[in-house]
Structure formats: structure tokens, C-alpha cells
Amino acid sequence: MTKPPSHRPVDGTDELRLLDSALERVVEAGEVPIPPYPAVALKVQQLLSRKDFGLADLSRLISSDGTLAADVLRCANSAVYARGSPVTTLAQAVTRVGSQQVLRLLLASSLAGHAQEAGTLALLRRQVWIESLASAAVCQELARLRGLKSEEAFVVGLLHDFGKVVACAGLELSFAKAKNKALGHLGWPLPAVAQAVERQHVHLGNLIASRWKLPPLVQHAIGNHHGTPTEGVQEPLLEAVRAADAVVELLMMKSRVSPADLVPVRTLTSLSEREAVSRVLEQVPELVAAFEQVSVANTTYASAIALPDTTLSRQARAVDFAVEVRVGGRTQRYTATTIETNGIALSGEQPMPECHLVTATLHGGPEPFRIWAYARLSRSDGALYRVELKPFALKGTEPIFWTHLLDEAGPALA
């Protein structure tokens, strides 16, 4: 195995050096667990290569794996693909989504299990997974608009950062094997872990692409999406991936990404592209939810990542209204205590799984309204829990209701 390049920590901290060295050692030794290409996806790919395949054959093959079949059915009924009445059978789902798109969804469904595994780096792994699904959706839409192959764009969007998921597994392996007690301790700063994972993810992505024998164009995009664009050379798929990275970064920071917010993304060259991408982002929460394979209501794990005491700024203002949050099929009740432009703090009797997307019904306006939210923090606070949510991909009238909550809030607490 070719040794990955060595990197000097940006900030020179001992913690980052330890993480860098530990991950480089397991990568160099070939110990990082790279998952095999999903078996059902491979069988479906082989079936689709035949000219005489039928949708009934495809449905039977998918139904051989109950988890994959359920994911395809949920996707067909999500906002991304929903048209008319809900579909109730796998055959209807395959017909609605289309055979080539089913193959992409099967790949995503198969990888979801690896991305959602429990472990001390589960928080970072889940964040990467949400970003990967969002990137796949954006890349697919850009491919449609730009006349590229949407199947290649979706796969690249999904996989170009999947090396980060594998890198997390490598670090967890290092933690488990660590003879150095400092390496095995819990509570690493998220920036240090993220930087260590960032340094290795392209190398690991190349290994995955090679082992899975992905198409050369896809392999090239996975290996070069962080490279400097070559002047005068048109690489449309790479440009789409780089644009998706910038878009997803905005998605994870802001409550809503409007066409105006996308103006700084220079490779989105037209208003029609920015409008189309903004609409796609509104569908991402349901796409993520379609691949949620674990009941998050009882998800507990020791985390190696130390999150801050709060994700809200000093401009947060006091509020007091009821909030119902749907978590893992159950409704949990909280009271909103503080709010700012891109976040809200809640107080309640139950914790919440961090780095998950949840639905929250807010009762602070003239009428209740429901949003998707990203759970950024869950902390014990005496006899109660403090939970912090970021509104995620607000759409329709939701930004208006959210603005009303901000306008009605009390003075800043700082």
C-alpha cells in the first residue's frame, strides 16, 4: 500500500499530532476497515446491464433485503420523488423512482449502515453522512441542469467524502488498541478530530473507489475534488462536486439557503441554477430521514468528541413557549428558553441524540408550525436537559414564522 502523505498539524497542538499519527499508522498498516461493495447493489447493477430485465425482476431482487426495500419505499414517498398518492408496494416504488435511480438509492442505503454505526466518533460520522446525502442530491440536480450523467454525479456526491466515515472507523480502532492512555481518552476537540479525518479522507476515498472498481471518471472526481482547478481545463463533474461542497457548507450553517445566499458560490453561474439548488436543499431532510436505519430514541454512546457548552451566540434572546420534538417515533416535550437567528435552546426532561435530524413543532407564534431541525447539543442541566437545535432547510412559510419568533423574543441575555 502506498503511504499516504504526511501532514503537519495546522495549530501544532499535541492532541492533533496524536490523532494524525494514530490515523496515519492504521492507514499505512492497511488496518482501516473498508466495507465491501454492497452485494444487493452489485446484483442490481448486473441485472440492469441485461437488455431483457423487467421491473418485476428488479423488485424481487430488492425485496431480498428488507432494510433496503424499506428504504426504497420511504424514498419513493419522500418529497424528493413524491408525485400524487403514496406508493404502498415495492413495485410501485421502483416504477415511480426508476431503475437507475433505484440503484443509486440502494448504494446509499447500503452505506447508511456504516455511516450510522455506534462508536465513539458517531457524532462526526453522522454529520458526514448528512452532508454526503445533501451533496449527492445537489450534484444530481446540477448534472441534470448541465447535461451530465446524473448517476455518476449522485455517486460522486455521495462517495467523495465517504473516506471520512472510514477514517472515523480507523481512529476508533486506534482508540481501542491504544497503549497510550492519552490517545484512548474521551473528549477530543471536534476541530482536531475533523482535521485528522480531513487529511486522510481523499486517500481512503481513492482506496474505496479502486477496490469497488468505480468508473474512471468517478474515481478521478473522488481523488481530485480538493485539488486546484486547472486553468483552461473543463472538468464538469469536478466543478459540480466543488459547488456542492460550498452549498452543503452553507446548509449546515444557515437555517435556510436561499438563491441569494448562493451568489458567493461562483460556479453556480445563473439564477435558475441557484433557484433549483435551493429547492433541492429543502428536500434533503426527508432524504436523510428515508435512510434512518436506527430508532434514535434509545441511542446512547460514549463520545470521543467534546462539544462546546453551547452552540448559541451571546445575541441569543429569551423566549418561553412549548416545543414538541419527534425523536425515533416518539414525541418529546420541551420549553424553548432562548433563540437566535440560526438556533434555539430547549429545556426538558429527556435528552436528545446529537447530530440527528428531528422534526420540531413550535408553539410560539400565532399558530403552531413544524420544521426540520438539526440537534447540535444535548446536555444535562440539573434535573433537566438543555437541548440546542438548528432549524434545517426551512421552506415555504417556515422562514416567516421563524422570523416572527425572533421578532417577539425578549432582550439579548448577554
Q: CA 358 to CA 345: how far, in whole Å?
A: 14
What's the maximum distance between 2 C-alpha atoms anywhere in the chain?
A: 68
Q: CA 380 to CA 311: how far, in whole Å?
A: 15
**83: pLDDT strictly greater than 70:** yes
SS3 319: strand
Name every residue whose Cβ is closer than 8 Å to that of residue 20 and which is 6 or more positions away in sequence: 7, 9, 196, 199
Q: Is the dihedral of CA 18, 203, 167, 140 positive or negative?
A: positive
Q: Provide the grid cell at 156.
A: 460522486
Candidates 217, 229, 275, 226; CA nearest to 246 is 226
According to the model, what pLDDT value does residue 301 have?
56
Q: CA 242 to CA 233: how far, in whole Å?
A: 15
Q: Provide the grid cell at 413.
A: 441575555
How confident is the prediction for the chain on average, in pLDDT? Answer: 85
pLDDT (average), residues 195-213 = 91
pLDDT in tens, 149-192: 888 899 899 999 999 999 999 988 888 876 555 565 667 888 88
**8: pLDDT strictly greater than 70:** no
Q: Provide the grid cell at 292.
A: 434512518
pLDDT in tens, 281-324: 999 999 898 888 655 444 555 678 887 889 998 889 999 999 99
User: Is 154 or 231 the better-scoring residue by pLDDT?
Assistant: 154
According to the model, what pLDDT value does residue 229 have?
61
Q: CA 414 to CA 403: how far, in whole Å?
A: 21
Q: pTM (2 decimals)?
A: 0.87
Q: Provide the grid cell at 281.
A: 436543499
Q: What residue ranges do the domains of the chain occupy?
A: 7-32+117-306, 37-115, 309-408
According to the model, what pLDDT value does residue 22 have?
84
Q: CA 138 to CA 223: how far, in whole Å?
A: 19
According to the model, what pLDDT value does residue 2 have?
35
pLDDT (average), residues 254-275 = 95
Q: CA 268 to CA 354: how far, in whole Å?
A: 32
Residue 98 pLDDT class (50, 70, 90 cuts): confident
According to the model, what pLDDT value does residue 7 have?
34
Number of other residues whose CB lies within 10 A of the CB of residue 232: 5
User: Is 340 or 215 the better-scoring residue by pLDDT?
Assistant: 340
CATH architecture of structural domain 309-408: Beta Barrel (2.40)
pLDDT (average), residues 51-71 = 83
Q: CA 64 to CA 79: how far, in whole Å?
A: 26
User: Is 414 or 317 the better-scoring residue by pLDDT?
Assistant: 317
The class of domain 7-32+117-306 in CATH terms is mainly alpha
% of the chain with per-residue pLDDT over 90: 45
- Per DSSP, 298 falls in state G
